[in-house]
Amino acid sequence: MSNRFNDSTYWRAFGENDITHSAGHYLMAIDALRDEYGYARVTDVAETLEISRSAASMAISQLKRRGWVSEDRNRFLLLTEDGAEMARLVEGNFAILSKFFEEVLGAEPDVAKADACKMEHLMSLETGRRLVWLMRHVLNDSSRAADIQKVMTRFARDKEPEDPAGPDADKGSN
Amino acid sequence: MSNRFNDSTYWRAFGENDITHSAGHYLMAIDALRDEYGYARVTDVAETLEISRSAASMAISQLKRRGWVSEDRNRFLLLTEDGAEMARLVEGNFAILSKFFEEVLGAEPDVAKADACKMEHLMSLETGRRLVWLMRHVLNDSSRAADIQKVMTRFARDKEPEDPAGPDADKGSN
DNA sequence: GGCCGGAGTTAAGCATGCTTAACAAGTCGG
DNA sequence: CCGACTTGTTAAGCATGCTTAACTCCGGCC
């Protein structure tokens, strides 16, 4: 059996990500709060994310130890340079994925955002950049965009129960 | 502040997924083992996934309780109908995502597979189907495929350090 | 018949990430 | 000046998901 199941470096890498789903949202919350109010406290982050203050407190301690969050002289929360970079990465991945799901694939906005939110911290910088590039150069070309729209409209019309991988997907590839 | 940060139903939905990353791989491992050897035991799953037998044992108990795995009369592992469906969903998502990352975005095979493996259990059936459809109807059209290839070749040439979201991505959207 | 080894389970420990409860410290009002 | 509220932290508990260690159980072999 020589497929990806034999190679634990693949599937177990899930747990060794640069950033967890929740960490990404802590960073983005701090960023958004500073944008809007000029400062961010533990309590504000907890409120924004609708979790307990204690959970926010402990999680933010981790983020400080990891060098992504610091405090100003008034003990207000700051993103370090690395922290801001991670926040931008996750934010950017969310933006591009939800845009792709909605505008190219024609998914419902809610579905597009839910899927994007779950995947945002997992897509590599490299792949994210490639997707941005494609979107920019395909969608901004109105003829190509219309082309794709036509195809996806046909999808909406022809839609029938079918295997998500489809007959020509290379199942168990590697 | 009226963006997705205010709505915990979005980001916290991550933990309420239909299936976890590891559960997906347990199901796929059982499926693959039965395909190749005609049967699957706890020990075989543990070996395939390179985890301890005890971890496999406990995880598979959960999957049985969840109605995704059962046993035949010789105590060999079986996927239930629901289990097989979940396995096919995750498998299909992996196939289509890695194919998309590699063949459309032009990512390195390793990067494509790593990203796909991390995201496979998170993409909804709906979005997966749409991606399959697009791939089938865009990539199978050689002129359109060439078009995209040309764009992505230009990406490889022009590649420069840039924000993954790019200037025209709707950051903080909702 | 007894013993060994493979298969499977259970228990205890660790990390993440959440909860509630209890508590320390600072600020503000009467 | 002191009580009350706000802020932040720590502790204990729970779920997931892994580990190692210590079993049970069963089948085959001398």
Q: For A47-58, what is each residue's pLDDT tens digit?
A: 999 999 999 999
By the CB < 8 Å criterion, does B155 face chain A?
yes
Predicted model pTM: 0.85
Mark yes or no for CB contact A1/B107 under 8 Å.
no
By the CB < 8 Å criterion, does A98 face chain B?
yes
Of A128, A124, A144, residue with least CA distance to A96: A128
Residue B75 pLDDT > 50: yes
Residue B159 pLDDT > 80: no
CB B66 within 8 A of CB B87: no
Selected residue of B8, B122, B135 to mutate for chain A interface (largest A Cβ count, 10 A): B122
What distance in Å separates the CA atoms of residue A30 and residue B130, rounded to the nearest whole number?
Answer: 34
- The proportion of chain A whose per-residue pLDDT surpasses 70, expressed as a percent, equals 85
In three-state form (DSSP H/G/I as H, E/B as E, the rest C), the secondary structure along chain B is: CCCHHHCHHHHHHHHHCCCCHHHHHHHHHHHHHHHHHCCCCHHHHHHHHCCCHHHHHHHHHHHHHCCCEEECCCCCEEECHHHHHHHHHHHHHHHHHHHHHHHHCCCCHHHHHHHHHHHCCCCCHHHHHHHHHHHHHHHCCHHHHHHHHHHHHHHHHHCCCCCCCCCCCCCCCC
Shortest CA to C1' contact from A53: nucleotide: D8
Which positions of strand D lie within 7 Å of protein CB atoms? Answer: 6-12, 16-22
What distance in Å separates the CA atoms of residue B27 and residue A22, rounded to the nearest whole number?
Answer: 26
Residue A127 pLDDT > 70: yes
pLDDT tier at B126 (50, 70, 90 boundaries)? very high
Residue with token string 């490639």: A130
Residue B79 pLDDT > 50: yes
| Mean pLDDT calculated for residue range B50-74 | 95
Would you say the C-alpha torsion B25, B30, B31, B35 has a positive or negative sign? positive
- The CATH number corresponding to B15-79 among 1.10.287.70, 3.40.50.720, 1.10.10.10, 3.30.1370.10 equals 1.10.10.10
Of A56, A123, A72, A58, residue with least CA distance to A95: A123
